[in-house]
């Protein structure tokens, strides 16, 4: 995997700025770089999630056209989630985890723990439903 050119430019700029300003500004420079890195990660995750969701919509539309069983398309709980939806949920969770953990960090350790437990819990329940649906043939 090649490094992201935008992040590379930001890191180079941060390092050049550090040379100009000196080590007393290290904390501010690191915080600024991490903020830019977080925003870039959010952009990348958002792009990947949107692409994945678009692919799922295309696949669902194709499946709906080829579905001859007469079942109504789009019913709630119309079977188990597919692997794409599990991946999409995982990517969305990771994308949301970044800002949520950032906010929780300001509150304290307990808030970080509760946030992670919530994220893991949602993914675990969803994955469990996916596995249960496969075992029961649903």
- pLDDT at residue 89, rounded to an integer: 78
* Percent of residues, the chain, with pLDDT higher than 90: 3
- pLDDT at residue 82, rounded to an integer: 64
Angle between the N-to-C axes of helices 26-66 and 83-107, in degrees from 0 to 180, rounded to the nearest 10:
150
- pLDDT at residue 127, rounded to an integer: 75
Domain boundaries of the chain, sorted by first residue? 1-74, 79-138
- pTM for this model (two decimals): 0.42
Rounded to an integer, what distance in angstroms lies between the CA atom of residue 59 and that of residue 137?
A: 20
Residue segments in the chain with a per-residue pLDDT below the cut of 50: 70-77, 138
- pLDDT at residue 74, rounded to an integer: 47
For 10, the token pair is 């930001």
Block residue for tokens 């993914």: 123
- pLDDT at residue 103, rounded to an integer: 82
8-state DSSP, 77:
T
For 89, the token pair is 């949920």
């Amino acid at each position: 995997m090649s490094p992201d050119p935008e992040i590379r430019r930001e890191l180079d700029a941060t390092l050049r700025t550090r040379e100009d300003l000196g080590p007393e500004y290290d904390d501010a420079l690191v915080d600024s770089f991490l903020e830019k890195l977080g925003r870039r990660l959010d952009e990348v995750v958002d792009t990947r999630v949107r692409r994945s969701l678009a692919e799922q919509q295309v696949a669902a539309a194709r499946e709906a056209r080829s579905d001859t069983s007469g079942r109504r398309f789009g019913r709630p709980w119309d079977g188990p989630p597919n692997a794409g939806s599990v991946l999409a949920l995982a990517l969305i969770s990771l994308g949301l985890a970044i800002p949520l953990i950032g906010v929780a960090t300001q509150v304290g350790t307990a808030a970080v723990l509760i946030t992670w437990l919530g994220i893991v819990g949602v993914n675990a329940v969803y994955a469990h439903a996916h596995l249960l649906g496969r075992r029961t043939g649903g």
